[in-house]
Structure 1
């Protein structure tokens, strides 16, 4: 036997396990989607105490013969952190919610279920299968276009059903701002008017207005997105093209928008922002809520999620996630003199750019 052959074999088998784990990670995604479809988090929540497997099967109105298959799915979701399990005196499993599954409860303002469901929807998940074709020479700008023949934004304009699902998914992500917007008084201090660019159905603007009711908010998005949205005293909707012009305001907000576009496109957008800010008498600013890669203090899960979002942007759009150096370069090229980054939204940060 060769020296250290046992150690080499052990390392190879660990490497094998790592490869298989990541090759099968889509299984976790679809099991999570399945749990949302069945309403497993909601059933456990309504039960108001840890729930045994037979109780869960009964409440979900599943056939008793699905008990063992459901246990297997729950085992994976428990291991992944979406549920917890303990054993009662009869040594039967009892399932409880975790902080992650509490964010999947239907009807809750902070529910992320729509966001999960849109990410695993075939329209967004199928393009990943075309990644190799796109790299090998497809002329389309994005992998999404290679898969569907049109870009993501055009697809949404032509498919009202998917467009509705997509907007609800983005809105569910935006509603997480309720958890922290009250702590952002310094960010919105002195702001009397704000344009939320790419603001969709206005969820972020509505959250800001609840905390700062004096601000006049305008949601600016594609015409088919804002069409028919109900307006209010300090909330209005404007359809248009952010590459052509952006309505003037004290602050121009981009929440999870800039990462959709290439550096060249972001530079054009930022220059349009400076034009809009210049129309106001007092100096304004741009507020960007987005990811900053390589932030100090990020743990492994946060870093991996940011890197996955970076690839997601490559698949769906011409955009990317950026590190601080890359953000700074764009701001300076667009004519901004300074910026400030405040990591406050978990995965995301607030970035302020000043003219």
Structure 2
């Protein structure tokens, strides 16, 4: 091999090693969240030494400082935390970065619950079944646990809390981006039904920012039964496979990726029936994979595609919408993982 080929092969080897040990970043991040390191630094209001961290860790009787130093060393290299040597050559000081500020649990917007959930053994187990699913079909979570994630959540209160906390933290972040980016789109709507809206947090936030909208939260009876009252929001129970309450627009956030194409067409056709012929519209919040995308969240969208085990490129969305009576659509990129897919019956 010539020098150029040798260099390329060496870089290829490095890429394999980096991907092979990709889990190390995730595990170090999980450790930081479990120990509350971002919260500890934040509570001091200034950079602190390594020795100051264990003193604030709950239940820490004999902390291993050398192990903590190794975790922090990697997280500093990944820019999760920052470290600097003071001018008086004292102990290294650690501080928050723009990344670790997203791990401070008392912040209104934080991703700590998502880090905890996605690194839980029950959520990691399905990733080991990808090869089997490709060979035999089926869904990884069910192969790993013998049940769907929703069933596990209904049977296991601890898992349910873990799951709900993670969904709540991501919902806040995503909805903030949606409400800010889609102001003009919401302004023209008199009524909005959130299909699969859970306990109604999403539609409530949209209505709060857009008082012109009459909100409808639509989900299964046992879900709606626990929904609190929100100003301007009506809770209606039912099945999206049977019918959807009438409204000017239908809103669906991370619903369709749970279903195959045939079921998606059934849901979307019911959405089509629920909205007016001329001025109605469908607002879908889902990841849209961009083959040549180089935006901030485009690479993460591919990881989420595996996470959801969904395979929806823009072309597939176009075909799915057309088959359901929505020949016209726009894709609006927003500063978060999913995009807004705005579809129209005419």
- TM-score scaled to structure 1, two decimals? 0.87
Tell me by how many angstroms 1:287 deviates. Answer: 0.6
C-alpha displacement of 1:85? 1.8
Instruction: Please report the RMSD computed on the Cα atoms of aligned residues, expressed in angstroms.
Output: 2.4
2:103 match: secondary structure: coil
Alignment of 1:298-317 (within 5 A): 298-299=294-295, 302-314=297-309
SS at match of 1:191: coil
Displacement of 1:12: 4.1
Gaps of 5+ in 1: none
Q: Which of 124, 142, 145 is residue 145 of structure 1 equivalent to?
A: 142
Matched-pair contact (CA < 8 Å) for 1:171–1:201: no
Is 1:293 matched with 2:293?
no
Following the alignment from structure 1 to structure 2, what is the Cα–Cα distance between the partners of residues 133 and 332?
32
Secondary structure of 1:353's counterpart equals strand
Map of 1:328 onto structure 2:
318
- Secondary structure of 2:287 counterpart: strand
CA 1:223–1:123 in structure 2 vs 1: closer, same or farther (change >3 Å)? farther
Partner in structure 2 of residue 173 of structure 1: 170
Paired residue total = 342
Over 3 Å counting, the alpha-carbon distance change for 1:345 and 1:325 in structure 2 is same
Within the candidate set 229, 232, 246, 1:231 is matched to 229
Offset at residue 158 of structure 1 (A): 2.9
Q: 2:23 aligns with which of 13, 23, 26?
A: 26
Gaps of 5+ in 2: none
How far apart, CA to CA, are the structure 2 residues paired with 1:59 and 1:160? 29
**Residues 114 and 169, structure 2, Cα contact 8 Å, conserved in 1:** yes
Q: Distance in 1 between matches of 2:147 and 2:232?
A: 36
Asked whether the equivalents of residues 167 and 201 of structure 1 are also in contact (C-alpha less than 8 Å), the reply is: no
C-alpha change, 1:182 and 1:305, in structure 2 (3 Å) is closer
Whether the 8 Å contact between 1:127 and 1:143 is mirrored in structure 2 is yes
1:35 matched residue in structure 2: 32
Structure 1, residues 292-323: CA drift from partner, whole Å, max 9, x if none?
21176524x63331111111222xxxx33x23
1:100 is aligned to 2:99: yes
Query: Counterpart of 1:125 in 2: which secondary structure?
Result: helix
Select between 235-244 and 41-50 the one with higher mean Cα deviation.
235-244
Shift of 1:101: 1.5
| TM-score normalised over the length of structure 2 | 0.89
Cα shift at 1:103? 1.6
- State how far apart, in whole Å, the 2-side matches of 1:188 and 1:215 are: 8
Measured after TM superposition, the shift of residue 172 of structure 1 is 0.9
How far residue 353 of structure 1 moved from its aligned partner, in angstroms, is 0.5
Q: Distance in 2 between matches of 1:22 and 1:218?
A: 44
Q: 1:1-355 alignment to 2 at 5 Å?
A: 4=2, 10-60=7-57, 62=60, 66-89=64-87, 90=89, 92-137=91-136, 141-176=138-173, 177-179=175-177, 181-278=179-276, 283-294=279-290, 298-299=294-295, 302-314=297-309, 319-320=310-311, 322-355=312-345
CA distance in structure 1 between the partners assigned to 2:106 and 2:218 by the alignment:
27
Contact 1:85 1:96 in 2 (8 A): yes
Q: Deviations over 1:13-32 (max 9, x none)?
A: 43333222212212211221
Residues 112 and 201 of structure 1, relative CA distance in 2, 3 Å threshold? farther
Q: Following the alignment from structure 2 to structure 1, what is the Cα–Cα distance between the partners of residues 224 and 81?
A: 37
Equivalent residue of 1:345, what SS? coil
Deviation, structure 1 residue 9: 5.4
SS at match of 2:315: helix
